[in-house]
Amino acid sequence: MNLPIRGIIPPIVTPLSENGDLDSQGLRNIIEHMLEGGVHGLFLLGTTGEGSSLSHALRKQVVTEACNLIRKRVPMLVCITDTSCTESLELAEHAQRMGADALVVAPPYYLPISQGEMQQYLDYLAPLLPLPFLLYNMPSCTKLQLSLETIKKGKKLGAIGIKDSSGDWNYLNSLIEEFKEDATFSIVTGTELFLPRLIAKGGHGAVAGGANFFPGLFVALYNACLADDTKTISELLKSVKLIGNTIYSVGKQESKYIKSTKCVLSVFGLCQDQVAPPLRRFTSSEREQIKDHLTHFPPDASYIPAR
């Protein structure tokens, strides 16, 4: 795999049927939609993919079918984070057998752990991983913000980069500054609006949830950032901000981002909007709000799919 990992790497949703099974046709539709939009990689079973809410069997099925569909057209990253280290390693081995390119490792969730315990965990886990791995900082879901010392430890053990979803620009900027001399260590953000600043400072890309439904928008923004095209960046950021102020603002629960992303894909006819328990999909009223919000995006924009 070419390093560093860079570009727009959507955290792909996991499309589900009414009975909770994998919606295989939906998965095919979404993958082809994003590849047509020019994305540079795909990230399976992350927060947006509801990985922690899926059975281990279903996670493996997602990896198997996605690998068969992607066929090495872009790098595929698989999140293996679990409360059980044994399950993480089993999924890692499965991902390697199916043809994934890299793994993603966040702190095990539920039990609170210290930085020292996370470093000990990496000491044990990293040598057993069959593929390169990316660290994943997601403190809102894991209770732990990875310290610089822990990230350095991960890098020493073979980490090829970090995805930061803290939403803290000062923290992210400190990572860019720390690792800017290393051309093989990727710094990517999960905060979509940070992309221009990240690229300008020497970072590498974004795991942008909105690229599930508007892949072309985020690819165009990334390309404009590389070209330092300030006019285009300004125009495209208007649409990125509009996503946050409209689509991501529907609903009152903390889970609304996942629900709204799936709802948009459903409105586009790409998959159903079913989400994994304990969550529930949007109500009909909330779905109508999503449909109304979509009418406010430029109808002639290249990133809007025909519908």
User: Tens place of pLDDT for every residue, the chain, 307 residues?
Assistant: 677 899 999 999 999 999 999 999 999 999 999 999 999 999 999 999 999 999 999 999 999 999 999 999 999 999 999 999 999 999 999 999 999 999 999 999 999 999 999 999 999 999 999 999 999 999 999 999 999 999 999 999 999 999 999 999 999 999 999 999 998 999 999 999 999 999 999 999 999 999 999 999 999 999 999 999 999 999 999 999 999 999 999 998 888 999 999 999 999 999 999 999 999 999 999 999 999 999 998 765 555 554 4
User: What six digits make up the tokens of 234?
Assistant: 């300004």
CB 150 within 8 A of CB 119: yes
**Where are the alpha helices (H) located in 126-251, listed in sequence order?**
139-142, 148-156, 169-179, 195-201, 215-226, 230-245
- Distances 14 to 128, 191, 245, 262 between C-alpha atoms, Å: 27, 20, 24, 9
Q: What is the pTM of this model?
A: 0.94
3-state secondary structure 104-151: EECCCCCCCCCHHHHHHHHHHHHHHCCCCEEEEECHHHHCCCCCHHHH
Q: Cα(169)–Cα(167) distance, rounded to whole angstroms?
A: 6
